[in-house]
Amino acid sequence: MWYKEGKITNKIIITMASLITDPKDFAQHINEKMLADFLGIQNPKIAFDVKEEKTKGKKRINEDVVERFIQVIENLGDRKKAQWLFNEMLYINALSEQRHITNLENQATEDGIVFDIVDYGKCVCHDERALWWYIHHKNVFDKYFERAETENLAGLKELIIKDEHIVEKGKIIADENKLITFGEEVAKIYENVLRGKKFRVSNFSEKDCVFVRVYLENLPENQLIFIDDKEKQSAIGRMPSIRSLFNTLFVYNPDEKTLGIRTTNPAENVPKLADIFCKTFLNCTYADITERKYNVENMGSVKKLELTPDPMSDIERCYLKAVEYGMLGDTTKTLRLDVGGRQNYTGTEAMQNFIIQSKIIENEWQPRKFEIKFIFKKKDEKGRRRQITASLTRRGINLKNTPEDQKIRQFLKVKGFIS
């Protein structure tokens, strides 16, 4: 890992969660004792009295508690410390979704961490659960935070590497100096649009892949702006929406001979980023690799689509749920057909019938997007069937980095949707 002085913009990077634009929006979901614990673990400890004030109406947390909590932080003599605390709240909020909570629990299990299940069970919402991990097992929180952003591979651009340029995955992350150089080169792409501070590189292996992530670690100091209000002294100026601006993910898979890149403005940045990765690790350039193709526009009639899963696979059935068309010769005219999901459809039969009933002349339209719904077999009698809808366009696919999504990706390759 490394840090570099750079630039940041008036937009901020935070990913992986529901967005908040005011620290109060997060604090109002946390019970009074946990707010006190959050301040109590700081160095030096920050005092916050727990008064157990009663709430009004249906609100679970008293508004006065939230105001006192914000005021305590705002009144700190060290202004940078106050801003850092608010930044930490944003990071905690970033992991306050069901999937992240489950993964935090799994991370603790993988690391052999025995945690207080009784105390943990007192948390009544995901915001509190995320904060609980931050307070009681910061190492688990930090470790998972590094990996959380790699789950979503939607928008990943896949590039195919020639055999002669394939390098063992262990060699990619073995040389610390190469990683430092690589991160610096990636950061240079964004220096003209970022005002600010710490860029960071993290890397790890998972199954057949190596993940390398380059991102802006800290939030800008000038974004948490407090405004003195005559009626309410603790009024907080609204911040811009928290969105990823500089958060680039590289997924190298030597077995599949692919390099995946997920970044902002992919059309502009992917060639530059791929060139840096190839020159640093693979002894080649962007000109030596080709972009993976997603076959949608050239598939023709839906009758030609093959959507029969292997009986031995975990996919029980799949069907063409929706198609988006563009009229040939007139890009302003579009058409979307969606058969829904109430019936146990298979293959393309339902869509073919829909097209016939709609009296659409298929050869006048070109497919632009396929939505294929996959239903997986039950893992046990009590469980539910997992369902995933894969959205495929010529630019890519929306799949994540989960075992089921990887099976869908392999299915689409075999059936000719991905080449």
The answer to whether residue 419 is domain-embedded is no
Mind listing the pLDDT tens digit for each residue in 266-290? Answer: 878 899 999 999 999 999 999 999 9
The answer to whether residue 237 is domain-embedded is yes
Q: How many CB atoms lie within 10 A of CB 34?
A: 21
Residues whose CB is less than 8 angstroms from the CB of residue 240 and which lie 6 or more positions away in sequence, other chains included = 10, 11, 12, 21, 223
Task: Scan for tokens 């109430």, then name that residue.
Answer: 342
Mind listing the pLDDT tens digit for each residue in 131-188? Answer: 999 999 999 998 888 777 677 777 888 999 999 999 998 888 888 889 989 988 988 8
Tokens for 36, please give them.
């006190």
Q: Which helix (H) or strand (E) holds 272?
A: helix 266-277
User: Band of the pLDDT at 25, cuts 50, 70, 90?
Assistant: confident
Of the three residues 252, 267, 291, the one that is the final residue of a domain is: 291
Instruction: Give the residue with greater pLDDT, 396 vs 237.
Output: 396
Q: Do 236 and 209 lie in a common domain?
A: yes
Q: Do 243 and 361 lie in a common domain?
A: no
Q: What are phi and psi of 327, to 5 degrees?
A: -70, 135
Q: Do 167 and 140 lie in a common domain?
A: no
Domain membership of residue 234 as a residue range: 157-291
The answer to whether residue 183 is domain-embedded is yes
The answer to whether residue 1 is domain-embedded is no
Tokens for 404, please give them.
């089921």
Distance CA 412, CA 419 (A): 9
Q: Do 31 and 111 lie in a common domain?
A: yes
The answer to whether residue 306 is domain-embedded is yes
- Please state the pTM of the whole predicted model: 0.67
The answer to whether residue 106 is domain-embedded is yes
Q: Do 102 and 222 lie in a common domain?
A: no
The answer to whether residue 349 is domain-embedded is yes
Q: Do 328 and 286 lie in a common domain?
A: no
Q: Do 286 and 377 lie in a common domain?
A: no
Q: Do 21 and 134 lie in a common domain?
A: yes
Distance CA 219, CA 241 (A): 12
Q: Do 336 and 395 lie in a common domain?
A: yes
Q: Across-strand partners of 315?
A: 376
Residue pair 219/246 in contact by the 8 Å Cβ criterion:
no
3-state secondary structure of 83: helix
Mind listing the pLDDT tens digit for each residue in 42-74? Answer: 989 999 988 876 666 556 677 888 899 999 999
Tokens for 61, please give them.
């947390």
The answer to whether residue 43 is domain-embedded is yes
Mind listing the pLDDT tens digit for each residue in 190-248? Answer: 765 554 446 778 787 777 788 888 876 544 444 433 333 433 333 333 333 333 346 78
Of the three residues 291, 318, 349, the one that is the final residue of a domain is: 291
Structurally, how many domains does the chain consist of? 3
Q: Which helix (H) or strand (E) holds 89?
A: helix 79-94
Q: Do 39 and 59 lie in a common domain?
A: yes
